[in-house]
C-alpha cells in the first residue's frame, strides 16, 4: 500500500511540474464532456413542432370541387385551410402538381402532397351510388435525409386520418340535419310505426265484422223462402259494406307500402355502419402493405400506431358483438351468426397486432404482416356478406310479412269484388228462381275464408309493427338522430377516446438521450486517457522490490482521478448547464463518478495486460456498445448477436442507473446497476493482473514489429 501511494504522489508531482501535462489532463477531463453536451443539445426536442416546423412539405391543391343540389363543395380547400393552421410541419403551398413534384425532386422539399382535381367528387361519390375511394398523391425524397421521410410520413398519415375524420363529421352532420327536419315535420319513426299498427288492428276489426256478415249470409241462404222476401235489402247492405271496406283496404295497403319504404331506410342506416367497419379494415390493410418491406416503418408502427390500431380493432369487435346481440333479439339468427363470425376474425386481427414486436426477424415480421393481411381480407369478405345478408335476410323477412298483408288485402278485395258480383247475380236470380241459393252459399263460404285469411295477415302486420315501434334499437337510433348534431358528428369521427397515463414522464427528448451520450463521452474519455497516459512505470531506486499489484494500482490512481474528474464535470454540466430533467441529482453525480472509475479500470486493465491489443479491444467494445446497448433503439429490435451480448455491456447498467435518476426510482434498480458495475470493476482488476505475464512476450513481439515499420508510435 505504501508503494501505491508513493506512485500516485509521484505522478501528481510530475504533472504539476509540466504545463503540457496539465493542459493534457485538463483536455482529457473536459473534451469528452463537450461531446456529451453538444449531442444532448442537438437532440433536445427534435420531434416538437418548433423543430419539425422547419421540415418543408409542398402542398398543391388541384381540387375543382363538386356541385350537388345547387351547392358546391370543395373538400380540398377545407384541407388547405386546416393545414395553414397546423404548424407541426413547414407546409409550402404551391400552384400545380408539377411544381410540387419538382421541389421534391430537386431536394427543396422533403415531401409533397397533391390533392387531385376530382377529390371532392370522389369524396361525395356515395351520393351518386358509385362508391369511389378518394386518393391524395404523396411524393417523398428519401435521398436527402434518413429520418426526415419518417417525420413527413407521419404527416401523411395524420393528413389521411384528418381527411377521414372530416368526411365522417360532415356526413354525420348531414344525417343529423335530415333527422331534425324529419322530426320537425312530425315524421317520428316510432309514432309512424305505432300508427300503422293501429291501422292494421282497425282493419282486423272491420274484417271481423265482414266475417260476421258473411256467416249471417250463409245462414240466411238456409231459408230460401224467407230470403226471397228480404234479399234485395240484404244485397244492398252487403254491397255498401263491400264498398266501404274496399276503401279501407286501399288505405291499409297504402300504409303498408309506406311502412316498407320506411323500414328499408332504417336498414340502409344499419348497412352504412358495417360499411364504416369495412372502410377501417381497408385502411388497416394499406398500412400492413406498407410495413411488409420496411424495417424502419415497422419499428415506427410498433412505437406509435400499433396500440391505436389494436384499440380501434377492439372497438370494431365490440360493435360487431353488440350488433349480433341486437339482431338475434329481433329474431334474425343468420345475420347474428355473421356478425359473430366477424367479431371472431377481428379478435384474431387484434391479437396478431398485439403480438407484433420489434424483436421479430425479417421473416417473422413478413409472415406476421401477411397473416394479419389475410385476416383483414377475410374480415372484409365477412362485412360484404353481412351487407348482403341485410339485403337478403332482414329485408326479405320484413318484406315477407308486408307481402303477406298485401296478398291478404288483395285476396280480400278480389273476394269482396267477387262477392259483389255474386250478390248482383243473386239479385237477378232471386227474381227468376231460387235454385241458385246453393251457388250463393258456396261463394259466401269462400268469401268467409278469404276474410279470415285477411284478418290473420292484419293481426300479423299489427304485431310486427308494434314490436318494431317499441324496439330498443329503434329508440336508440331515434335518440341518436334527435341529439346534438355536433356531438353525434364528433362521436362518429372519433368513437374511441384514449385515456393515456404516462409512468415515469420525461419532458424532453434531450433528457431521454442524456444517459447514452453521457456514458459514451465517459468511455471515450477513458479510452483517450489510456492512449495518452502510459501504464508502464520505469523502475527507480525509489521503488525497491515493486510488486505487480503495487505497480497496477499505483498507476491506476492517476487514471481514477481523471475518471472521477470526467464524471463530475460531465454530470454537473448535464444538470447545471444543459438543465436535463433529474429527480435525484446527487445519485446522478454519484453514478457518473462510478462510471468514470469502472470505465477507466476496464480500459486501463486491457492496455496494462495487452498493450496495443488492449487499445484495439477498447475501441471494439466501444463500437459494440454504441450499436447494441439500447441507447437509441430498443435492444429488442437489434440483430440477435447484439441481444446476446447486451447483458454483458457496461453501458446498459450505467444508462439504466442514470435513467432511474432522470425519470424516477423503482425497486432498487439504481443500486443493482451500481453493483453490477462494481462487478465489472473487480473482473477487470483480475483480468489485468492475470494476463500481464502470459501476454508479455506477445506484447514485446508486437512492439518490435511496430518499431521496424518506422511509421507507427
Strand partners, 67: 72
pLDDT in tens, 490-533: 655 566 667 778 788 888 888 999 999 999 999 999 999 999 99
Residues 180 and 204 in one domain: no
> Among 124, 152, 187, where does a domain finish?
187
Structural domain contains residue 14: no
Q: Is the pLDDT of residue 627 over 70?
A: yes
Q: Is the pLDDT of residue 74 over 80?
A: yes
Residues 690 and 555 in one domain: yes
Residues 559 and 618 in one domain: yes
Residues 31 and 84 in one domain: no
pLDDT of residue 263: 45
What's the Cα-to-Cα distance from 216 to each of 213, 444, 445, rounded to whole Å?
A: 5, 10, 11
Choice among 118-132, 192-206, 539-553 with the minimum mean pLDDT: 192-206
Residues 685 and 585 in one domain: yes
Residues 36 and 89 in one domain: no
Q: Is the pLDDT of residue 242 over 60?
A: no
Structural domain contains residue 599: yes
pLDDT of residue 277: 79
Structural domain contains residue 264: no
pLDDT of residue 328: 81
Question: Can you give the residue range of the structural domain that contains 129?
Answer: 55-187
pLDDT of residue 163: 66
Residues 639 and 521 in one domain: yes
Whole-number Å distance between alpha carbons of 27 and 532: 11
Rounded mean pLDDT of 308-330? 82
Question: Between 481 and 131, whose confidence is greater?
Answer: 131
Q: Residue 610: CB partners within 8 Å, gap ≥ 6?
A: 617, 691, 695, 699
Number of domains in the chain: 3
- Max avg pLDDT among 117-131, 346-360, 628-642: 628-642
CATH number of the domain within which 106 lies: 3.40.1710.10
Q: Using an 8 Å Cβ cutoff, are 156 and 104 in contact?
A: no
Structural domain contains residue 393: no
Q: Is the pLDDT of residue 408 over 80?
A: no
What's the Cα-to-Cα distance from 78 to each of 82, 154, 166, 167, 507, rounded to whole Å?
A: 6, 20, 9, 11, 34
Residues 218 and 179 in one domain: no
pLDDT in tens, 655-702: 999 999 999 999 999 999 999 999 999 999 999 999 999 988 888 888
Confidence of residue 425 (pLDDT cuts 50, 70, 90): low
Q: Is the pLDDT of residue 266 over 50?
A: no
Confidence of residue 536 (pLDDT cuts 50, 70, 90): confident
Structural domain contains residue 116: yes
Structural domain contains residue 439: yes
pLDDT of residue 678: 97
Residues 102 and 215 in one domain: no
Structural domain contains residue 353: no
**What phi, psi does 404 have (nearest 5°)?**
-60, -45
Confidence of residue 489 (pLDDT cuts 50, 70, 90): low
Residue 532, Cβ neighbours under 10 Å: how many? 13
pLDDT of residue 710: 67
Q: Using an 8 Å Cβ cutoff, are 295 and 358 in contact?
A: no
Longest dimension (CA), the chain: 163
Whole-number Å distance between alpha carbons of 40 and 484: 49
Residue 86, Cβ neighbours under 10 Å: how many? 14
Structural domain contains residue 298: no
Choice among 52-66, 229-243, 447-461, 619-633 with the minimum mean pLDDT: 229-243
Walk across the sheet containing 56-61 and list its strands.
Answer: 90-94, 56-61, 111-115, 137-140
Residues 657 and 692 in one domain: yes
Mean pLDDT of the chain: 77
Whole-number Å distance between alpha carbons of 349 and 318: 13
Residues 438 and 582 in one domain: no
Residues 65 and 132 in one domain: yes
> Among 125, 152, 187, where does a domain finish?
187
Amino acid at each position: 500500500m505504501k508503494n501505491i501511494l508513493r506512485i500516485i504522489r509521484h505522478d501528481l508531482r510530475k504533472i504539476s511540474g509540466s504545463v503540457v501535462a496539465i493542459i493534457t489532463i485538463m483536455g482529457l477531463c473536459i473534451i469528452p464532456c463537450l461531446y456529451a453536451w453538444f449531442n444532448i443539445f442537438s437532440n433536445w426536442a427534435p420531434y416538437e413542432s418548433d423543430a419539425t416546423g422547419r421540415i418543408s412539405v409542398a402542398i398543391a391543391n388541384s381540387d375543382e370541387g363538386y356541385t350537388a343540389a345547387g351547392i358546391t363543395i370543395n373538400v380540398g380547400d377545407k384541407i388547405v385551410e386546416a393545414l395553414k393552421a397546423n404548424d407541426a410541419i413547414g407546409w409550402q403551398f404551391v400552384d400545380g402538381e408539377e411544381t410540387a413534384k419538382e421541389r421534391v425532386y430537386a431536394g427543396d422539399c422533403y415531401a409533397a402532397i397533391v390533392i387531385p382535381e376530382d377529390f371532392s367528387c370522389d369524396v361525395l361519390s356515395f351520393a351518386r351510388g358509385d362508391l369511389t375511394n378518394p386518393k391524395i398523391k404523396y411524393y417523398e425524397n428519401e435521398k436527402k435525409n434518413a429520418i426526415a421521410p419518417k417525420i413527413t410520413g407521419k404527416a401523411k398519415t395524420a393528413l389521411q386520418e384528418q381527411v377521414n375524420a372530416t368526411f365522417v363529421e360532415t356526413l354525420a352532420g348531414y344525417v343529423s340535419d335530415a333527422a331534425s327536419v324529419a322530426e320537425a315535420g312530425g315524421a317520428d319513426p316510432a309514432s309512424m310505426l305505432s300508427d300503422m299498427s293501429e291501422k292494421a288492428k282497425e282493419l282486423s276489426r272491420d274484417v271481423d265484422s265482414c266475417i260476421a256478415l258473411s256467416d249471417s249470409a250463409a245462414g240466411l241462404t238456409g231459408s230460401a223462402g224467407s230470403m226471397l222476401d228480404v234479399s234485395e235489402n240484404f244485397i244492398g247492405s252487403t254491397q255498401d259494406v263491400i264498398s266501404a271496406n274496399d276503401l279501407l283496404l286501399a288505405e291499409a295497403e297504402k300504409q303498408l307500402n309506406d311502412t316498407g319504404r320506411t323500414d328499408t331506410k332504417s336498414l340502409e342506416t344499419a348497412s352504412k355502419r358495417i360499411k364504416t367497419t369495412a372502410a377501417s379494415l381497408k385502411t388497416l390493410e394499406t398500412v400492413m402493405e406498407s410495413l411488409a418491406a420496411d424495417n424502419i416503418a415497422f419499428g415506427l408502427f410498433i412505437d406509435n400506431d400499433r396500440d391505436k390500431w389494436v384499440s380501434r380493432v377492439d372497438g370494431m369487435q365490440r360493435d360487431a358483438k353488440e350488433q349480433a346481440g341486437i339482431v338475434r333479439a329481433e329474431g334474425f339468427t343468420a345475420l347474428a351468426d355473421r356478425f359473430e363470425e366477424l367479431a371472431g376474425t377481428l379478435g384474431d386481427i387484434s391479437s396478431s397486432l398485439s403480438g407484433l414486436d420489434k424483436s421479430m426477424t425479417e421473416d417473422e415480421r413478413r409472415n406476421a404482416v401477411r397473416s394479419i393481411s389475410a385476416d383483414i381480407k377475410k374480415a372484409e369478405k365477412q362485412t360484404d356478406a353481412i351487407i348482403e345478408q341485410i339485403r337478403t335476410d332482414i329485408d326479405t323477412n320484413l318484406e315477407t310479412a308486408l307481402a303477406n298483408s298485401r296478398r291478404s288485402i288483395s285476396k280480400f278485395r278480389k273476394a269482396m269484388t267477387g262477392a259483389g258480383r255474386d250478390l248482383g247475380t243473386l239479385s237477378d236470380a232471386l227474381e227468376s228462381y231460387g235454385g241458385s241459393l246453393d251457388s250463393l252459399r258456396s261463394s259466401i263460404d269462400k268469401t268467409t275464408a278469404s276474410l279470415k285469411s285477411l284478418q290473420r295477415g292484419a293481426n300479423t302486420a299489427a304485431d310486427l309493427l308494434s314490436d318494431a315501434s317499441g324496439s330498443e334499437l329503434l329508440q336508440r337510433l331515434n335518440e341518436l338522430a334527435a341529439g346534438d348534431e355536433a356531438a353525434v358528428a364528433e362521436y362518429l369521427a372519433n368513437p374511441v377516446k384514449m385515456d393515456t397515463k404516462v409512468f415515469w414522464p420525461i419532458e424532453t427528448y434531450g433528457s431521454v438521450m442524456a444517459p447514452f451520450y453521457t456514458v459514451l463521452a465517459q468511455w471515450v474519455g477513458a479510452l483517450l486517457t489510456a492512449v495518452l497516459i502510459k501504464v508502464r512505470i520505469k523502475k527507480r531506486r525509489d521503488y525497491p522490490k515493486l510488486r505487480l499489484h503495487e505497480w497496477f494500482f499505483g498507476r491506476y490512481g492517476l487514471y481514477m482521478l481523471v475518471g472521477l474528474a470526467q464524471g463530475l464535470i460531465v454530470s454537473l454540466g448535464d444538470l447545471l448547464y444543459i438543465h436535463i430533467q433529474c429527480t435525484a441529482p446527487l445519485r446522478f453525480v454519484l453514478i457518473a463518478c462510478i462510471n468514470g472509475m469502472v470505465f477507466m479500470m476496464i480500459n486501463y486493465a486491457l492496455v496494462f495486460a495487452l498493450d496495443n491489443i488492449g487499445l484495439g479491444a477498447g475501441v471494439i467494445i466501444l463500437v459494440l456498445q454504441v450499436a447494441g446497448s439500447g441507447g437509441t433503439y430498443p435492444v429488442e429490435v437489434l440483430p440477435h448477436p447484439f441481444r446476446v451480448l447486451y447483458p454483458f455491456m457496461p453501458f446498459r447498467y450505467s444508462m439504466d442507473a442514470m435513467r432511474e435518476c432522470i425519470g424516477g426510482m423503482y425497486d432498487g434498480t439504481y443500486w443493482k446497476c451500481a453493483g453490477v458495475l462494481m462487478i465489472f470493476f473487480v473482473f477487470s482488476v483480475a483480468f489485468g493482473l492475470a494476463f500481464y505475464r502470459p501476454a508479455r512476450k506477445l506484447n514485446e513481439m508486437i512492439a518490435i514489429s511496430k518499431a521496424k515499420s518506422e511509421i507507427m508510435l
